[in-house]
Amino acid sequence: MQNTSTEDNTFVDRRQPRGSEPNGEPARERRQFSDSRNTSRPEVDELAKAVDQYKLQNRRRFITFEELYDVIASLGYHK
């Protein structure tokens, strides 16, 4: 039987703190619609911003179609 214990039992945590890049800089929050907000339709920009705000407030990376409907309804749209 081989003894695998060593004298130096220090634990080195190599994981990055949450919200930081490997180079130590804070990570930017990635938004689903951030690149597409520069459209010629202001209502599309408004929806994209509202969806991103919803995701930030509710700590969601992705939303369901029901949550999307709630965001759309909160903007005043109705059938």
37-78 pLDDT per residue, tens: 567 889 988 999 999 999 999 999 899 999 999 999 999 998
Under the banding of pLDDT at 50, 70 and 90, the label for residue 12 is confident
Cite the DSSP H helix spans in the chain.
42-57, 65-74
Under the banding of pLDDT at 50, 70 and 90, the label for residue 13 is confident
pTM of model > 0.75:
no
- Residue 22 pLDDT > 80: no
Contact 49, 37 (CB under 8 A): yes
